[in-house]
Structure 1
Amino acid sequence: MSWFHDLVNTLLQWIEGLGYFGILIGLAIEVIPSEIVLGYAGYLVYQGEITYLGAVLFGTLGAIVQQWILYGIGRGAGRPFFEKYGKFIKIKPKHLDLADQWFKRYGDGIVFTARFVPVMRQVISIPAGIAKMPFWRFTMLTGLASIPWVLLFVYLGRTLGENWEDIGAKAAPYVQPAILIAIAVLIVYVLYTVLKRKGKSI
């Protein structure tokens, strides 16, 4: 897929040219995976073109803006929009079903815990928007959940330096345990929610 490689290189050059705002926009629209954008941001830190703190700040803002977009579409257009166009951003009806079930069953706190679960970290914003979850609570939970991901990949990109493109292999030992911990936290949250609901019904 040489065309994809060329596209990635073009977008990364564009991000480099825009600096911090390139990171923000690159994450907000996510034409290429966020870990590549953040890894490249780390490489720019390594080169001394931007600061680590700035990369983390704008990376977190970009991650939040991306979720604002999904939240806003969910709130304004509802589920039919994603059923029709979701395939273009790799969101399937089964993902929507699961996210909707989680949100309705466990409340808006799931917006934080689901961020650490692959696929669900994107899709959970949609039912939050449809349910008109308070915007600032949505933003706070999304931001708090985005920070660890941004910190990790910017750090790895900076550490790898010229070899930043190997970030996928380098990140695996960190990401896999993080996912397991996140799933454990998710289970604890779900149990807490269920027990709390049962306590109220007694």
Structure 2
Amino acid sequence: MTASLEHLVATGGLLVVFLTMILESCGIPISAEIVAPLAGALAAQGRLSLAGVIVAATLGNVVGSLLAYWLAFRFGRPIILGPGRRVGLDERHLRLAERFFARFAGWAVFVGRFLPVVRTYISFPAGLARMHLAWFTSLTTIGCVIWLGALSYAGYRLGEHWQDVEHALGPLTLPFGILVLAVIVGAYIWGRRWMDRRPADEPL
């Protein structure tokens, strides 16, 4: 699997990065921990642009997530558990994502981007729950930029040792996601309090 992806990304460039990330976020078993660091390593060799890698990976993941959201929103569980099985969707993994979403609600879409398996399936329970589309898209995009940017940059820095990224980052993914979420929520709360304290006639 890794060798095939390596060949595809090396020959197809940013288009393959974009397409594989669409598939990953639709429940197809393709790992971002392979594609993004590999593309980052190719950027270090001058064969791709690091910024291009991050943009292509993020756009692909967001597009795939929106597609998964829409399928779940429009057709419900039958489309996921019926035709989905034929392309590699796993019902056990879907249940895991549903439990995660039930526990953390909308924020699961953001934090789930940092977790293996969950990030691949989290868009389905969001669609089933009819989560507000703008909120879903915003959290998905922010999570993708941070996570895929980190993976791509790590691959860029490690170069030919890009395969070490998955092993190095694996135990840190959940704490990292929670930390980023805490920073964002903290900044939001601070901003709201600052606006509330500001005199009404004070210019922005």
TM-score range, shorter chain: 0.7 to 0.9
- 1:136-176 CA-partner distances (Å, limit 9, x unpaired): 21111011111222122211222232x1xx43324423331
The normalised TM-score by structure 2 is 0.72
Change (3 A) 1:177 1:103: closer
- Which stretch of structure 1 is more off in the superposition, 139-148 or 28-37? 28-37
Residue 128 of structure 1 deviates from its aligned partner by 0.9
Q: Which structure shows the bigger proportion of residues in helix conformation?
A: 1
Change (3 A) 1:126 1:177: same
Separation (CA, whole Å) in 2 of partners of 1:146 and 1:160? 21
Residue of structure 1 in register with 2:172 after alignment: 177
- What letter corresponds to residue 58 of structure 2 in structure 1? T
Separation (CA, whole Å) in 2 of partners of 1:79 and 1:103? 15
Residue 79 of structure 1 deviates from its aligned partner by 0.7
- 1:14-71 CA-partner distances (Å, limit 9, x unpaired): 422xxx3332122112464222221222123112233222221222111212212211
Residue of structure 2 in register with 1:12 after alignment: 9
Separation (CA, whole Å) in 2 of partners of 1:151 and 1:5? 20
Residue of structure 2 in register with 1:62 after alignment: 60
* 8 Å contact kept, 2:5–2:35: no
Are 2:19 and 1:25 aligned?
yes
* 8 Å contact kept, 1:64–1:142: yes
Matches within 5 A, 1:131-146: 131-146=129-144
* 8 Å contact kept, 1:156–1:171: no
Identity %: 30
- Which stretch of structure 1 is more off in the superposition, 23-32 or 75-84? 23-32
Residue of structure 2 in register with 1:111 after alignment: 109
Residue 10 of structure 1 deviates from its aligned partner by 4.3
Separation (CA, whole Å) in 2 of partners of 1:28 and 1:62? 5
- What letter corresponds to residue 31 of structure 2 in structure 1? P
* 8 Å contact kept, 1:83–1:93: yes
Change (3 A) 1:155 1:184: closer
* 8 Å contact kept, 2:41–2:162: no
Change (3 A) 1:44 1:119: same
Question: In structure 2, which of residues 66, 72, 94 is the aligned counterpart of residue 74 of structure 1?
Answer: 72
* 8 Å contact kept, 1:15–1:26: no
Residue of structure 1 in register with 2:38 after alignment: 40
- 1:99-152 CA-partner distances (Å, limit 9, x unpaired): 334434543222112222221112121011122222221111011111222122
- What letter corresponds to residue 172 of structure 1 in structure 2? H
Residue of structure 1 in register with 2:196 after alignment: none
Separation (CA, whole Å) in 1 of partners of 2:108 and 2:2? 35
Residue of structure 2 in register with 1:158 after alignment: 156
The normalised TM-score by structure 1 is 0.73
Question: In structure 2, which of residues 99, 123, 126 is the aligned counterpart of residue 125 of structure 1?
Answer: 123
Residue 183 of structure 1 deviates from its aligned partner by 6.2
